[in-house]
Structure 1
Amino acid sequence: MEVHAADQYLVAPGEAGLLEVYEALRGTGLYPPFPPVELPGGVGGLVARGGFAQTFFFPGEVLGLTFRTPKGRVVRAGGVVVKNVQGYDLVRPFVGSFGLLGEALEVIFRLRPGRASSFLRRPWEGSFPRLIPFPRFLFALREGEGAWLYAFHFGHEREVARFREAFAGEEVGPLDLRSLFPSGMGVGEGPLWDPRFPWRDGGEAPPPPEAFLRLAEAL
C-alpha cells in the first residue's frame, strides 16, 4: 500500500482490508472515501459494490484502478490525477459493476483532509434523516431486537462539533461487519442498510442494463 500524503491519494491492492487502509492513514489527517468499517472483499469488494454508506458521488473518488477481466485480460484505467481522460473511461463503469467487469487488483483512491472526525450511533427510526452538517457516511445496522443509525463525518473541528450536536449520538469505534455476510455481501433485505441499498448475506447484484452487458463482453 502506498500513501502519497502530499498529493492526497493512496494506492491499495484489491485484497487490502478497509481498516488496513485506515491504519495506513493514521496520523496523516487524510481520509478515504469509506467509513471505518470492515466489509467482505476489502478494497476490491468495496469498489465492485460502488462503495458503502457514502452521501457523495463515490466513483469520483476512485482515480484509477487495475483489474482483471473475466476473460483474464489485465486492464489499467485512470491514473493518479483527477482529470485523466485518455481513451475510454473504464473506471466509472467498473465502480459498482458487482464483478461483471472483473476483479480489482489495485485501486487508487483520492484522499480528503480533515482536522477532526467523529463516528456516532443512535437508535434508528426507519429512515435516513437530513442533518446539517450532513455526514459523509450514513448506514443502519440491525442489532438484536433493535436497529442503530451510524454516521461518520470528518472535516474542520467546528464542523465536526456541529455534526456531533446535530446527530446527538454516542461515540463508537471501528466496526468489523464481515461476520454478517459469510456468503458474500449482496443487495437485498438484510441486517444492513445504506442510502443506496439494503444489504444481505449472499444477495444478488442489481440487474445491469443491456449496454453494460455488451461492454462486459467486449472486455
Structure 2
Amino acid sequence: MPILDLSPSDQTVTVSGDTALLEVYAVLPPGLYPPFPPVELPGGVGGLVSRGGFGQTFPFASDVLGVTFRAPSGRVVRAGGRTVKNVQGYDLTRPFVGSFGALGEALEVTLRLRPGLAARHVTAPGSLDSLSHPTARFAWEDGGELHLFHFGHGREVERALSILPGAREVGQPLDLRPRFPDGIGVGEGAGLRDRRFGWVNGGEGPPMPPLFARLVAAL
C-alpha cells in the first residue's frame, strides 16, 4: 500500500517514495491538500521531493517533514518525521529536498497537509514573467499558457486567481508523464517551467556545490 499513514488530525501523510502524486490526492479527505498541484510527474512523490517540488510559490522544504532514503552507499537514513527530529542528530530532510538524487532514493516521505475550503485550477495565455508576486500557491507556465492553482477560503481563492481575468477552468488533473519518458530534469526549450527552473525530458539536475558533495561522500 503506497499510503503508509494518513493522520487528518495531525495534518500529515506518509507515503512510499514511488507513490504517484495523484494517488495522494485520491486518498485525502475533503478540505486537506498536499504541497503540490494536481498534476502527475515522473518519479512520484520521491521524485518530486528530490527535485524540490513543482510550481510552488512557497518554500516547499518546509512542508516535507521527513524522508527515509537509501544513500548511494546503500545506507538507509531516516531523517525527520512527524516530530521533525532526526534520530541521528542532524537535519538531513532539507538537504535531501532538491538534491536531484545526489543523496539517494526516497523510500518514504512525510508531508504536511494544509486545510482549504475551496480549490481551483485555471489557465490562460500568459507568462510567468508577467507575475511579480503571485499569491496563488502554485504557478507554472506550459507552452505559452499560464497555470494557477490555489486552495483556501473561497474568497481567498478568488482573489489569488483574479490576476488571470477570463481564465478557463482546468476540470481534471493533468498527467504530464508522457512528455518525460526519460525522466524530468532541468533545462530550457520544452515550454514547461515554474519560478525555479525550466523542465525537460531526461535533463540533469543543477551543478552540485562542493560542500554538498562532501555531504554526499559522508553518507
In 1: Cα distance, 2:133 partner to 2:103 partner: 36
The CA deviation at 1:166 is: 3.0
8 Å Cα contact 1:115/1:154 also seen in 2: yes
1:217 matched residue in structure 2: 217
Q: 1:96 to 1:126 in 2, by over 3 A?
A: closer
| CA–CA separation in structure 1 for the residues paired with 2:192 and 2:139 | 11
Find the aligned partners of 1:90 and 1:69 in 2 and give their Cα distance. Answer: 11
| Correspondence for 1:184 | 183
* Structure 1 residue 125 displacement after superposition: 3.7
Measure the CA separation in 2 of the matches of 1:32 and 1:148: 23
Structure 1 unmatched ranges of 5 or more: none
Please list, as runs of the form range in 1=range in 2, the aligned pairs for 1:121-160 lying within 5 A after superposition.
121-125=123-127, 127-130=129-132, 134-142=135-143, 147-160=144-157
**Aligned residue type for 2:15:** A
Deviation at 1:151?
0.6
Report Cα offsets for 1:117-155 as digits up to 9, x if no partner: 1100000246241366x100000111xxxx210010000
SS in 2 for 1:127: helix
The one of 17, 23, 26 aligned to 1:20: 23
CA distance in 2, matches of 1:38, 1:31: 15
TM-score, normalising length: structure 2: 0.93
Structure 2 regions of 5+ residues with no counterpart? none
Task: Classify 1:42/1:128 alpha carbon distance in 2 versus 1 (closer, same or farther; 3 Å).
Answer: farther
| 8 Å Cα contact 1:186/1:202 also seen in 2 | yes
Q: CA RMSD in A?
A: 1.4
- Give runs of aligned pairs for residues 62-211 of structure 1, distance below 5 A: 62-82=64-84, 84=85, 87-125=89-127, 127-130=129-132, 134-142=135-143, 147-168=144-165, 169-172=167-170, 173-189=172-188, 190-211=190-211
Residue 20 of structure 1 aligns to a residue whose secondary structure is helix
Alpha-carbon deviation of 1:160?
1.1
SS at match of 1:48: helix
The 3-state SS of whatever aligns with 1:217 is helix
Q: Structure 1 residue 31 and structure 2 residue 33: aligned? A: yes
Q: Bigger CA drift: 190-199 or 161-170?
A: 161-170
Q: Distance in 2 between matches of 1:100 and 1:131?
A: 31
